[in-house]
Amino acid sequence: MAFRGGQDDAHNKSRGGKLPQRKMLLVEDNYYHVYSRSIAKYVVFNNADEYMRFIDIVSLCRHENFHYKYSKFLELNLSTQKAIIQKLKDENSVLIKIVAYCVMPTHIHFLLKQSKSNGISKFMLRVMSSYSRYFNQKHHRNGPLWGSRFKNVLVSTDEQLIHLTRYIHLNPVSAGLINNPEDWTFSSLGEYTDDSISVGICDFREVVNMSPQKYQKFVHDQKSYQRKISLIKNILIDDYFG
């Protein structure tokens, strides 16, 4: 696997609805760990409906030619929605490829491969803006929902890639929300380990060449250690967002 380009420091903020201005551009065909936290650690996912709303937005907004506001898309009849989704699949033009994700009460994690120029920034702006509009309207609030920027780290080796998928899928366990990663249904782990899931939103076969059973064991082998490290050193989220 070839890696190109440098790590984006992601220190510049997005203002006025514009795309974030960054000192170093994210490069096509590179993989990045992308993460963002809600403002002031505000809980932005309170129930299954909110988690699934966000995941549905993610699924659609990765497509370059999806130009609807999600709320307007939902107003279309079901047959029209299905026709739009099929057209997007047929065009197969995506801003990014999602390798892994995990949605947590106050933050989100993605492992993304950038497919189009500026694709990650466009994707994140679409997703975070869409969910913010929905959440603020639903909860009768105003103002920003997310911190002022998302952060990203270039993943530079194949070994880092596969271990990062495990780290992302173990986040709910490390945070003490559940005991087993399979119990957190708002991550991509099921796509990796459940043969009955025939259609998902992740492209991970180039990264993870394991059977579902082997990958499940790979994740569980690190479960206790990752939780212990997170408790002792507090490294999982606070190191990234501190």
> What is the tens place of the pLDDT at every residue in 22-53?
456 899 999 999 999 999 889 999 999 999 99
The arithmetic mean of pLDDT across residues 102-127, rounded, is: 96
Q: Exposure string (b/e) for 40-62, b if CB count within 10 Å is 16 or more?
A: eeeebbeeeebbebbbebbbbbb
**What pLDDT is attached to residue 83?**
96
| Cα–Cα distance, 139 to 50 (Å, whole number) | 11
Q: Is 11 helix (H, G, I), strand (E, B) or coil?
A: coil
pLDDT band (50, 70, 90) for residue 62: very high
> What is the tens place of the pLDDT at every residue in 135-182?
999 999 999 999 877 999 999 888 889 999 999 999 999 888 999 999
Structure tokens at 202: 């992740």
pLDDT band (50, 70, 90) for residue 233: very low
Asked whether the predicted pLDDT for residue 190 surpasses 80, the reply is yes
**What pLDDT is attached to residue 6?**
38
**What pLDDT is attached to residue 55?**
97
How many other C-beta atoms are found inside a 10 Å radius of the C-beta of residue 207?
21
All structural domains of the chain, each given as residue ranges with its CATH number in brackets, are: 31-241 (3.30.70.1290)
Asked whether the predicted pLDDT for residue 78 surpasses 60, the reply is yes
Q: What is the value of pTM for the model shown?
A: 0.82
Angle between helices 158-174 and 223-233 (to 10 degrees): 70
| Cα–Cα distance, 233 to 214 (Å, whole number) | 29
C-beta separation of 106 from 42 below 8 A: yes
The arithmetic mean of pLDDT across residues 196-220, rounded, is: 89
